[in-house]
Every structure is written in C-alpha cells, then in structure tokens.
Amino acid sequence: MTGRAQTTAIVFVVVGLACQEVGASLAVLLFPEVGPLGMVMLRLVFSAVVLLLIARPKLTGHARADWTAVLWFGVVLAVMNGLFYLALERLPLGVTVTIEVLGPLVLSIVASRRASAWLWALLAFAGVLALGSGGWDRLDPLGVLFALGAAASWAFYILASAKVGQAFPKLDGLALAMAVGAIIALPFGIVDAGPALLRPEIIAMGAAVAMLSSTIPYALELVALRRLPAAVFAILMASSPATATLAGFLLLQQHLSWLELLGIALVVVASIGAVRSSNRAARETAEPLA
C-alpha cells in the first residue's frame, strides 16, 4: 500500500466525517419544521431507498436466524437515530456526539480485556465531568439521557452490524435493516412532521440529510477501509466529537466553554487509546495461534 493511497483514504474518512456533521447540522435547522422524529424518518426512508437500489438484496436462501438478526439490526438503527436526534434537539452537536461515542468506547474497553484499558475509561469519565463544567444545569437532563441511550444503541449497532454482515453479502443486510428501521420510524415521523411532509423543499432537504449523514460517508468509509488498516480507521473515527464540535460552532453558532472543549478532547484521546489497547490485545491473542 503506497503512502499516497493511504493519504487518499485518510482524506476520504475526514470528508465522510465532515459530511456526517454537516448533515447533522442541517437536520438541526430542520427541527422547527419537521421535529426530530420527522427528521429521523426522512433520513432512514431515503437511506433505505438508496441502499435498496444499490444493493438489490436477495430475499431467498436465508435462515430464520438471519432474518431475526436483520429485524434486530433495523430496530437498533431506528432507536439509535431517534435518540440521537432527540438529544440533538436539546444539546449542542459536539456534546451530543461526545456522549454518544461513549458507547463504542466502553465496548472497545471491555473487548480489550486489559487492565490498562480501564485507564482510558477513567480519562473518558474525566472528560464527561469536564463537559458539565459549566454546570450540569446547562445541559438539558433529558437531552443527556437521550444521548446516553444513543451511546448504548451505538454499541448494540456495532454488535448487530457484525452479525448481519456475516449472514448477508455486501450491503444486503444493511439495506434490509435500513428498510426495517424506516418502517419503524414512519408512523412516529408522520405524527411529528405533520403537514410539513407535503412541502417539496422539506422532502428535498430530508434527502440531502440522508445523503450527507449516511450514503456519502458510508461509501467513502467503504473505500477507505480497503486502503487503511482497521486500527487507523478506528482512530480516525474516534475524532468524530472534535469534528462535531467544529461543525456546531461554524454552522450552528454553538459556543462551548474551554472546560467543555477540554472534556471533548479527553474523550477523543480516551477513544484513541482504547482502540490502540484493543488492537494490542487482539494481536497478543492471535500470536500463539500463528
């Protein structure tokens, strides 16, 4: 793998992260029109349509357990997106993503099975405390609960995605699960958005959010994963709270105190450390088998 190819892959990941946060910022701006659950519905519906057209998944030849895994994955997708947008309605973008990333962070720490990995957990906890430095009353309690729910859902998303990926080829499982998630979100989104769904510009904006938040980042990440070691990719993804904070500042004028920024930085560092610790543990486990 050439240095130029790796550099290009890193750029793809960074652009994908930027697209995700621009999509999230656009979604926040649409909340007054369609509400958070209406936005979830639009994102999942358009993402499902695009993925189904691209993947054209086969519906035959799968066991009952495979379909159960898809259904579970779809539920997780709907719940994770719903909780994330509900949190985003009440909290700054950077804070929401920082709390959400605690889900995969904890999963990575547990998977590493190394005592040293818990040092990263303590660092992340310090970061969370710093997030409340301006007073937890500044952070909407319900918003924090929604963000913590999204964090737990993200951990379940990783586990469900791995299981579906083993049962279905290419994008088939993700496309089917996205369709399930869209169906679950549909009634909640219709109630939340109401007549706004009849406005063409709202539908177009919803499609843009879906493309920015799901389709484009996933495509770029898929290409990047073919050129980058998984560990490097995971470390880059761990920087998402910093990207979200920057997007919130530039696009939504969301200002944070220096202690809150320090808290986000601590969570990013803890995430990177946990990824590296988990990778070392995986290599040590594999060595006796070599």
What sign does the dihedral 44-48-51-54 (CA atoms) show? negative
Buried b (16+ CB within 10 A) or exposed e, 28-40: bebbebbbbbbbb
Per-residue DSSP letter, 199? -
- 272-289 confidence digits (pLDDT tens): 777 776 666 555 555 554
Buried b (16+ CB within 10 A) or exposed e, 78-111: bbbbbbbbbbbbbbbbbbbbbbbbbbbbbbbbeb
pLDDT for position 287: 52
Share of the chain above pLDDT 70, in %: 88
Residue 204 — very low, low, confident or very high, per pLDDT cuts 50/70/90?
very high
Of 36 and 163, the one with more pLDDT: 36
pLDDT for position 185: 96
pLDDT for position 221: 78
Lowest mean pLDDT among 148-157, 176-185, 275-284: 275-284
Instruction: Return the number of other C-beta atoms located less than 10 Å from residue 17's C-beta.
Output: 22
Give the contacts of 108 (CB within 8 A, at least 6 positions apart).
Answer: 117, 271, 274, 275, 277, 278
CB 83 within 8 A of CB 147: yes
Give the contacts of 54 (CB within 8 A, at least 6 positions apart).
Answer: 171, 175
- 8-20 confidence digits (pLDDT tens): 888 888 898 899 9
pLDDT for position 290: 42
Q: DSSP string spanning 105-150?
A: HHHHHHHH--TTHHHHHHHHHHHHHHHTTT-GGGS-HHHHHHHHHH
Mean pLDDT, rounded, for 248-270: 85
Domain range for 258:
3-289
Q: How many structural domains is the chain composed of?
A: 1
Q: Is the pLDDT of residue 209 over 90?
A: yes
Instruction: Return the number of other C-beta atoms located less than 10 Å from residue 253's C-beta.
Output: 7
pLDDT for position 137: 56
Of 270 and 183, the one with more pLDDT: 183
Of 268 and 232, the one with more pLDDT: 268
Q: Is the pLDDT of residue 157 over 80?
A: yes
pLDDT for position 285: 55
- 79-88 confidence digits (pLDDT tens): 999 999 999 9
197 token code pair: 């769904």
- 103-130 confidence digits (pLDDT tens): 877 777 776 666 666 787 788 878 877 7
CB 277 within 8 A of CB 112: yes
pLDDT for position 136: 53
For the entire predicted model, the pTM comes to: 0.85
